[in-house]
Structure 1
Amino acid sequence: MNRTICGAALAAAMLVLQGCASPGAAIDKDAQARVASERPEAPRPEDFPDLGSAKWKQGAFPGTDAFARMRTGMGKDQVRELLGWPHFSEGLWGVREWNYIFHFRTGKSADYVTCQYMVRFSGDGVSTGGWWKNPDCALLAQPPAATPIPASTRLAPPQKVTLNADGLFRFDGSSLSDLLPDGQVRIERLAAELRGNFRSLHYIVVTGHTDRLGSDAYNEALSLARANTVRDLLVKQGIDGKLIRAAGMGKRQPVVSDCEGTRSSPALLRCLQPNRRVEIDVAGEQ
């Protein structure tokens, strides 16, 4: 008797799985035209689900060509072919939103940046758009096209500028209003040097770092927010924003690690100071 019940349950489960995997209906051309003419409001950061609630918490490392092929008006089967199944448990039928966790390599060892991506669908089951929780992730997903370099140009080796975060921002601050006067002057002076010393810029990577004090999530957010503020100020000073990528490494890449002392003691904070920094990597033609 028990075997019969178990067998029936297993068969029912297989039918459900087969139904989920079966192809969807043909796309309604009128539905595609409707969503193409609409301008849906972008989701707010708080509309994205918490990373901890993901069913598939590992996320994925996507190919950048997938996002180049994403278009409004695509059906769910087509989106799934490009991006895979969503990483959050959002139901099977009548779902109007898929959420993903995507990772992008920074080029520094095995480090990567984690981004959240949302695709929304109309009631007809066609996509109305795709959005990043952090808009800067779009630069990681679709890097600027490489510009051919004439053989006669003189390329400068990549240069790194390291700025002490304590000299840039007020304690625990990360916004433009938190920039110290001297810190803002240093960034403005750096922008002037970039404009004056390079005939053309190929890329700039702004990376925020923190010390080990505080949670991983807090330090990830703080380091990225500071990198974005530096990036925004460089853009205000005339540097092309399409060439600048911001990343937050949190406390994963310390410069010093053998500091001793009680938490938040002056001696410990001074010892950990080199870890609180913003690094700016620049490559271009001089």
Structure 2
Amino acid sequence: MHVSLKTLIAASLALAMAACGNVSQQVAKDGGSAGELVWPSPESVTPMHKGGTFPNLANLRQVKAGFNKQQVSDLIGYPHFSEGVWGVREWNYVFHFRNADNDDVMTCQYKVLFDENKLARSFYWKPESCAGVLKETVPAPSVATPKPRVFSGDALFAFDSAELSEGGRQALDDLADELNGQGHAFRDVRIAGYTDRLGSHAYNQELSERRARAVREYLVTRGVASSLITARGYGESDPVKDCGDERREALIACLAPNRRVEVILR
């Protein structure tokens, strides 16, 4: 069956006229803008794209200005509408995106404008808020919890005492030298005193506070700025070791790790 040239031309013109309502008007030569953006009705997609598609978001993020049509189609497929026959300067899509938090689906229209050389130059969304899907979620940087410097209470003080021993002062001398050598590398020094569970709660709280203050006062005498140092006692809370019902001397030795002073630099 032979089809006349006039018939072919008429059919082509009909397709072109039908597409006029679906394409933007006065697309700039450089593809950077249009006199009027026209959005085709989502119901007028081609049969193979009926209902729109769920694009590969990683691929969609790769679409950039300067890509040719083959490169665009490799990433997100061919357009979902029949934009016409000659000189196509735009592609339109209907995309769906699923909300990972509540499984809701958001529907968006996406438009690519091409320059005279058919290279992608500008991109549009309807509604404009849909552009947010391209933003990659950047996880908040994890803030490492400062690791405390732990000083054995028995190394700093005699048992049941808040007076620094000679060995305790030497240990704090080394810490003071380190702090003074760091200059402004830290914002504050937090000193926490702990006791074991022997004795009353009130007594242990008071002893832990006196020990924490003793460490603070000594560091100040060694040149560490007093405004940077806070000291607090926590009594017998937060033990690091549990012990049974050993005889007193053995129990005192077993509970030694709980008698400590922690220094945290922030």
The TM-score normalised by the length of structure 2 is: 0.44
Structure label with greater radius of gyration:
2
What TM-score does the superposition give when structure 1 sets the normalisation length? Answer: 0.41
